[in-house]
Amino acid sequence: MDDPSKPRDLEDRTFLFAQSIRAFVKTLPRTLGNTEDVRQLGASGSVAANWIEADEALSKKDFLMRTKICRKEAKESRLFLRLIEAGHDNIKRRDALAAEARELTLIFSSIILKASGS
């Protein structure tokens, strides 16, 4: 089931994911826990950056390594999104971002599986 609101190009999709997280964190309450969790959400930008690296990989081994980093960073983003104290107004937005992190994790897992021939 394709969602027409989501770009099919992973470079665009991962960019929008990182951009959405940056916009989201600006709306969060400033708590000690959120400050630490938001710091860890830099992983969201790493998903996009490593996908660009994977797309320009010099070898299959390099491609697989970069894609595995994308998957790892997407998983990490989901974890810290789930830990954030969003407040009542931001819960749906936080959960939607966590769901997108999960979808990206599954996409990267599928790419890794196909590329490694397993």
Q: What angle do CA 47, 51, 57 make, to 5 degrees?
A: 145
- pTM confidence score: 0.87
- The domain 10-115 is placed in CATH, from the list 3.40.1000.10, 1.20.1440.60, 3.30.70.890, 1.20.120.1200, at 1.20.1440.60
Q: What is the mean pLDDT of each run of 10 residues along the chain (118 residues)?
A: 65 96 89 83 90 95 97 95 86 95 98 90
Residue in 117, 12, 10, 109 with CA at minimum distance from that of residue 60:
117
Start-to-end C-alpha separation, the chain: 24
